[in-house]
Structure 1
Amino acid sequence: MKTKVLLIETDPAIALGLPELIERSHSEITVAVATNYQDGLSQAVNSKPDLVLMDLNQGEGLSLAEKIKQAIPNIKILFLSATLSSQKDLISLIADGYNGFCLKGIEVDELIDAIKATQKDEDSIYLDSRILSDLRKQVSRLKNITEESNEEIAKILNEFTKRQRDVLKLLIQGKDEVEISKLLGITYYTVRSHLSAIRNKLVAGSKSEVIAKCWSTGLAYEL
């Protein structure tokens, strides 16, 4: 079955060229286009695509994304924007249940990988390789966090078993349950059990919230 994507894009050049590039590169993806936000909302509600690909557009896009989420709670939304104002905003987007962020100018092959990654399960997320590189640089600065924070991270880590830390590390790398089970040589259901325990220990309601907390607290750097 083909993956249905709705591209909401006000830039005519992108709205005209990107769908053709995607469909030419991957026959299992179809792309419909809305060139304004009003049409974008109505098309999303009426066609119920597998994924909405849209621009943040200085907050206007986020407002539309919230409306789409309200109308279709389980829909996947991947942002495609020229800039990202801050890493904090990125963490907020992930924690709010959106499925990732890509920068305009991304190679078509990577954008297709992003689209495919969002379809793995309800919590799947994808970060542009350039965003991920910046995020790693930010995380490296966490070496300078306070002693008190270091003690808190150590306390959290001590609550996890070695296997739970292994699962969490792979989750942060973007792996889903099936991939984690193969890499660790354990069953899918064992992975699900470990993830449930991890969510409970971090007081997180979803995998995306687990990932956001790991980055925001510095835990991701210590795994």
Structure 2
Amino acid sequence: MSHEESNAPIRVMIADDHPSMRMGLVALINQQPGMTVIAEASDGEEAIEVFEDTLPDVTLMDLRMPEMGGAEAILAIRKKFPEAKIIVLSTYDWDEDIHRALQSGAASYLLKDMPIEDIAETVKLVNEGDTSLPQSVAKRLELRSQRDQITERERDVLEALIKGRSNKEIASSLSISEETVKSHLKTLFAKLRVRDRTEAAIAAIRHGIVHLD
């Protein structure tokens, strides 16, 4: 998917479920010298189909979309097209989101409120094979690596806790004992460096470990 001619514009695809955001990005990218938007998608599944049809040079992919999210779409695209160059463009700089995006094969992670010049520069760099992250995003990822990792079962406990469930209700919903729930909570408090359930819930949301849908 590299250019035959060095002066050919970079062909960009934009995947975002908000029509107004998509329209704005299309207009801004088309105004940038040396790049043109050739395709759009409104969710993950459509992004996969449109990518296969158009084979863009670089894709700007939202992470949080209905039906199928950006991380799942990136995984599916890169499984079939390992050379695909995809940049996540998100509203959120939560460290778990950043980690998930990069794990799925994203080349970089940008925030929607970044200046268009910075976004365009990253599109150019990624098109050339660069996979560096903006400093602010790299910092969030570094913070995540310093925090002990949360297991899937601990995440389940956190999700139930955020919904206001008691230990007894959490135990029942996960088919584990109350003692096991208490043990998970003790471990979670230590990993998140918090003192109680309220602080744990706030930390889980702030880090993007659990999403409030």
TM over 0.5: yes
Larger Rg: 2
Which residue type is aligned with residue 33 of structure 2? S
Against the structure 1 CA distance between its residues 92 and 56, is the aligned structure 2 distance closer, same or farther, given a 3 Å change threshold?
closer
1:172 is matched with which residue?
Answer: none
2:133 is matched with which residue?
Answer: 127
Are residue 62 (structure 1) and residue 62 (structure 2) matched? no
Superposed, which structure 2 residues align to 1:147-166 within 5 Å?
none
CA distance in 2, matches of 1:104, 1:117: 18
1:28 is matched with which residue?
Answer: 34
1:84 is matched with which residue?
Answer: 93
Whether the aligned pair in 2 keeps the contact of 1:45 and 1:71 (CA below 8 Å) is no
2:16 is matched with which residue?
Answer: 9
CA distance in 2, matches of 1:64, 1:91: 15
Give the fraction of aligned pairs with identical amino acids, expressed as a percent.
22
Deviation at 1:52, TM superposition (A): 1.3
With the length of structure 1 as denominator, give the TM-score of the two structures. Answer: 0.54
Are residue 102 (structure 1) and residue 110 (structure 2) matched? yes
Whether the aligned pair in 1 keeps the contact of 2:62 and 2:88 (CA below 8 Å) is yes
User: Between Structure 1 and Structure 2, how many residues are aligned?
Assistant: 138
Q: Which has the higher helix share?
A: 1
Which 4+ runs in 1 deviate beyond 3 A?
88-97, 132-136
SS at match of 2:70: helix
CA distance in 2, matches of 1:133, 1:79: 17
CA distance in 2, matches of 1:43, 1:34: 7
* RMSD of aligned Cα (Å): 2.7
Whether the aligned pair in 1 keeps the contact of 2:16 and 2:41 (CA below 8 Å) is yes
SS at match of 1:125: coil
Deviation at 1:15, TM superposition (A): 0.7
- Structure 2 unaligned residues grouped into runs of 5+: 1-7, 147-213
Which residue type is aligned with residue 75 of structure 2? E
Which residue type is aligned with residue 50 of structure 1? D
With the length of structure 2 as denominator, give the TM-score of the two structures. Answer: 0.56
SS at match of 1:41: helix
Deviation at 1:41, TM superposition (A): 1.2
Deviation at 1:133, TM superposition (A): 4.9
- Structure 1 unaligned residues grouped into runs of 5+: 143-223
CA distance in 2, matches of 1:75, 1:94: 13
CA distance in 2, matches of 1:128, 1:56: 17
